[in-house]
Amino acid sequence: MAETKKYVRIKKSKFLRNWYSAYIGKMYIVIGENDIEYITHVGNVLKADAELIVTEKRPAKVGERVLITKPSPMGKQSYKTGDIFIVNHENTPAFGGVRTSDVTGFIGPKEYEVIVNNEIKNEEADEMKIDLNAMGYDELLAHGDAVMEAIKKRTFQEGFQAAKQVQRKLAKMKTSINTQARRDEIVEQAKADVEKLANKYGYYYAYGRNPKAEFIVNCEKRTVVTILRWIADGQIVARGIAKAAPSDCFNVHIGRAIALRRALGLTVPDEYLNAPQPTEVRVGDVVRGKYADYYYQLCREGELGDDSYEAKIREIADGKYRYVGGGYDFIDDADLTIIDDSREEVGE
């Protein structure tokens, strides 16, 4: 038996004090109800202010209405959560996707649920139709005033929501910029640290011998090893190692600074050990992503084993991230994780 769910879409708010007065048009999951209210996962909604939508989680048939409940994060769809479409073409049952006249391409099976109370909704809509031709002049004016007031209220509410969305986006953008700037500062600090310490070894000079620092970098294992040798006879006098955590972006400059300080017995600054992760993809970065151009075709044919790949950014232009060795991702659609931002060969 198909799983049934209930949702309410906010149609109006009788009172401005209602929590949902600023969320007209939004949709919420119903977890219960009483005589006058729907109980949602975020609060109660008066039944008179909401539209009930009952759905089933199953493949849709031609002519049925579908509710978008979870748009895929991959790509740029022309639809969003809460949109309703009529199915005019079924895909193969094994896939479960559908086509509509309003959407280019398929709507995936995980993105929609089938509306099962559309007949009731249509009957209610028919009962609510207003016959303006049957109204008198005064009644028309009264309805006109109510309509204008509703438009003003809706405009204010939508404007407020839009402003809040812009504010959140700007705040996220500012945080991202600040995070990247801080990482850039730490990388430059690490470079200067290595240059300074590589020519000054502190207590090793007390023995009257001059050691030399060697760095062994293994990008695949995400490690940097520092070896201190006496210049005269090549004897190893100290070692230090730095290894990036699996969830961290590897950076060879920070790794050298950590490994060298450990070899010298010096304290490793906290900013090296807890550097923020990069937020801006740049030329020379090594990234992990999904579905890039021909990589996606290889994945589908089973040649890469899964749907992910790792590649180095060769160029950022014309709205695309282009990779060394071929392939690209559209910037607006890319879902990339930066795994190495050393960028030594591009001269930073």
Place of tokens 């404007």: 159
Which one, of 195, 193, 251, lies nearest residue 223 by Cα?
Answer: 251
Tell me which range, 86-95, 253-262, 331-340, is most confidently predicted by mean pLDDT.
253-262
Q: Which two tokens stand for residue 7?
A: 């949702």
Give per-residue pLDDT as tens, 12-67. Answer: 887 777 888 888 888 999 999 998 999 998 889 999 999 999 999 988 888 889 99
Cβ-proximal residues to 147 (8 Å cutoff; 6+ apart), any chain: none
DSSP secondary structure string for all residues of 199-266:
T--GGGGGGT--EEEEEEEETTTTEEEEEEEETTT--EEEEEEEE--TTSPB-HHHHHHHHHHHHHTP
Residue 140 lies in a domain: no
CB 60 within 8 A of CB 99: no
Indicate if 122 and 12 belong to the same structural domain: yes
Q: For residue 340, give the 3-state DSSP assignment.
A: strand
- For residue 270, how many other CB atoms are within 10 A of its CB? 8
Going by C-alpha positions, the residue among 104, 96, 101 that lies closest to residue 85 is: 101
Q: Which two tokens stand for residue 226?
A: 């520092």
Q: Are the C-beta atoms of residues 280 and 187 closer than 8 Å to each other? A: no
227 and 291 inside one domain: no
What's the pTM?
0.49
The boundaries of the domain holding residue 198 are 183-273
Q: Chain-wide mean pLDDT for the chain?
A: 79
- Distance, in Å, from the CA atom of 116 to the CA atom of 6, rounded to the nearest integer, reads 10
Please choose, from the candidates 113, 111, 85, the residue with its C-alpha nearest in 3D space to the C-alpha of residue 99. 85
Residues 6+ apart with CB under 8 A from 216: 224, 225, 226, 227
Does 243 share its domain with 316?
no
- For the segment 148-167, the average pLDDT, to the nearest whole number, is 64
Q: How far is CA 19 from the centre of its chain?
A: 28
- Please report whether residue 278 resides in a domain: no
Residues 216-226 have a mean pLDDT of 94
pLDDT of residue 128: 47
Which one of 273, 307, 337 terminates a domain? 273
Is residue 39, in this structure, part of any structural domain at all?
Answer: yes
Is 56 among the domain residues? yes
> Could you tell me the two tokens for 168?
């959140």
Position 143 in a domain: no
pLDDT-based confidence at residue 262 (cuts at 50, 70, 90) = very high
Which pair of tokens denotes residue 28?
């919420």
With bands split at pLDDT 50, 70 and 90, how would you rate the model's confidence at 191? very high
Asked if 28 and 123 sit in the same domain, the reply is yes
Q: Are residues 189 and 114 in the same domain?
A: no
DSSP β-bridge partners for residue 29:
7
- Domain-located, residue 159: no
Helix, strand or coil for residue 44?
Answer: strand
Q: Kindly state whether residues 43 and 126 are assigned to the same domain.
A: yes
Residues 13 and 121 in one domain: yes
Please tell me whether residues 28 and 107 are part of one structural domain: yes
Average the pLDDT over each of 99-103, 112-116, 192-196, 288-292 and give the range with the smallest value.
288-292
Q: Is residue 91 part of a domain?
A: yes
DSSP per-residue codes, 117-165: -HHHHHHHHHHT---GGGS-HHHHHHHHHHHHHHHHHHHHHHHHHHHHH
Say how far apart CA 199 and CA 192 lie, in whole Å: 11
What is the number of domains present in the chain?
Answer: 3
